[in-house]
Amino acid sequence: MSFQGHTIEAPSARTATAAEDARKHLFNNLTLADYRRSMAGGIERVADRIARTERPFSGISPQRLAPEISGIDLDHPLNDPAAALDELEEVYLRDAVYFHHPRYLAHLNCPVVIPALLAEAVLTAVNSSLDTWDQSAGGTLIERRLVDWTAGRIGFGVDADGIFTSGGSQSNLQALLLAREEALARAAAGTVPPPARHELLPRLRVIASEASHFSVKKSAKMLGLDMDAVIVVPTDRSRRMRPAALAAELERCRRQGLLVMAVVATAGTTDFGSIDPLPAIAELCERDGNWLHVDAAYGCGLLVSPTRRQLLDGVERAHSVTVDYHKSFFQPVSSSALVVSDGALLRHATYYADYLNPARTVEQRIPNQVDKSLQTTRRFDALKLWLTLRVMGADAVGALFDEVVDRAAAAHDLLVADPRFEVVTRSQLSTVVFRYLPQADRDDTTADAANLYAREALAASGEAVVAGTKVDGKHYLKFTLLNPETGLADIVQVLDLLAGHAERHLAERSSAGHGRSTDRSPS
């Protein structure tokens, strides 16, 4: 066969047959029966696993599981969805960590609501890309409507805007990018000639509390700031930023000619669930015209709380707010957003590409979300929240979040009354940071070893999963309660298990003699 004098080789019979076989796996109007059958098979497999799950984790170690996965020959397909699901059962489903289980108490992972799972099935099949209108159509408008709805819940005005992101870290990064550009523009305004960027960057500072998320420092590094650009201010006994300490740092920066590009307040610290005093912080920021970013990745559930919304009072005075629906709105990962009080600020993330979002589309009022985003291709994650609100309603989501906050308060009281443990502080949200206290030998080294061992032994047993952290240099345990199905009986059981592991470790340590340590990780 030839085309304009060029010979085009016809595909071999073998290649043509392979292509024909491959096409049967494409999702289209010709393969709907296979689609329905495969999806139903997957749903049944997951449902069966959930029905049979008695523990949140199998306790398997990476060393045991890695050979099973590395031994699979990816160049030789199984050619059968059922066989692939059988294999998946062995390498994933059997040993997955199940956040829906009431004794999963570790990280900020929530059980998910069914309307959001329905949305996942829809959005992955249609596979819209939310970067441009001509790839998403209604998906663009749904995302924009949800941003407007969230901005309204925050208390922003009609100029607010935002964008869905992959998570809190990306939202914080973009917020600090916008803050950096605004700070540089202010510093250069009215100066002739304006100072060069490389002269201003070393003077930029971000102020956050010692309990803020690590992504603040990571973002500063990614934005080209100096290692000491993030100024950490102390917290009070409730692990909330001290406004007086913030005021002192702001004054010091003024004296030293440093440029505060942003103050980051946290509405729901990862460890303590503490909410910084937002009104007082906002007052200080407004006095000097400093950018206020509120990291509400965890505490955003309060936006729909029927009883605790006042804990976020002052958030409406921020320039930017991070919200993570996949933490406290019971959404599957990923579902997050950055919301800004003035949509014009998002211009700092705008770039035009002739093939994708040429500048003329702005004049044509074509809504391209890539104009606001750090990402180009993006999933239609907003659909999960959309269907959740349309099926359940915001009040129902808020009621679920209130329930886990109530449960954490009850767990705190339970621990305070238990002489085996000590608690750091009462959370405003749904975490509890505590540690086991050895009865005979209460020195910090012994307590640290007992708590580290207890957590690892508990995970290895698979009976429950709890988190660990360090407070003032000491090792602590942490409950993160995001499952309304977790009851006080579950919490009591986990505490007894932890105490039992710690006591066995101390007994083995004692019998081995004080000169030798047996604080090995459990096998």
Residues 374-399: tens digit of each pLDDT: 999 999 999 999 999 999 999 999 99
Residues 105-150: tens digit of each pLDDT: 999 999 999 999 999 999 999 999 999 999 999 999 999 999 999 9
For residue 466, give the nearest of 453, 480, 452 by alpha carbon: 480
* Residue 209: pLDDT over 90: yes
Residues 157-205: tens digit of each pLDDT: 999 999 999 999 999 999 999 999 999 999 988 787 888 889 999 999 9
- Domain positions in the chain are 129-392, 395-512
- Angle (deg, nearest 10), helices 32-52 and 81-91: 30
Half-sphere exposure in the Cβ direction for 99 (13 Å, CA): 18
Rounded-to-integer distance, Cα 439 and Cα 423, Å: 16
State the average pLDDT for the chain.
94
Q: Is the separation of the CB atoms in 432 and 415 below 8 Å?
A: yes
* Residue 331: pLDDT over 50: yes
Residue % of the chain over a pLDDT of 90: 88
Q: Which helix (H) or strand (E) holds 410?
A: helix 394-416
Among 218-222, 336-340, 356-360, 448-452, name the one with the lowest average pLDDT. Answer: 356-360
* Residue 512: pLDDT over 50: yes
Residue 23 tokens read as 């096409």
Among 10-24, 36-50, 165-179, 401-415, name the one with the lowest average pLDDT. Answer: 10-24
pLDDT for res 517: 45
Residues 90-110: tens digit of each pLDDT: 999 999 999 999 999 999 999
Greater confidence, 1 or 270? Answer: 270
**Parallel, antiparallel or unpaired: strands 474-480 and 104-105:** unpaired
pLDDT for res 518: 44
For the domain made up of 129-392, the CATH class stated in words is alpha beta
pLDDT bin (cut points 50, 70, 90) of residue 1 is low
Distances (CA, A) of 231 to 52, 89, 273, 336: 49, 47, 21, 26
Spell 462-477 as b/e; 16+ CB within 10 A means b.
bbbbbbbbebeeebbb
Options 3.40.50.300, 3.90.1150.10, 3.30.1490.20, 1.20.1090.10; which CATH number does 395-512 get? 3.90.1150.10
* Residue 4: pLDDT over 80: no
pLDDT for res 502: 96
Rounded-to-integer distance, Cα 330 and Cα 109, Å: 9
* Average pLDDT for 200-214: 96
pLDDT for res 191: 80
* Residue 520: pLDDT over 90: no
* Residue 348: pLDDT over 50: yes
pLDDT for res 190: 75
User: The tokens 């199984």 sit on which residue?
Assistant: 78
Residue 137 tokens read as 């159509």
Q: Is the separation of the CB atoms in 111 and 470 below 8 Å?
A: no
Residue 207 tokens read as 């102020």
* Residue 353: pLDDT over 60: yes
* Residue 498: pLDDT over 70: yes
Beta bridge pairs of residue 435:
422
Rounded-to-integer distance, Cα 362 and Cα 297, Å: 31
* Average pLDDT for 467-473: 96
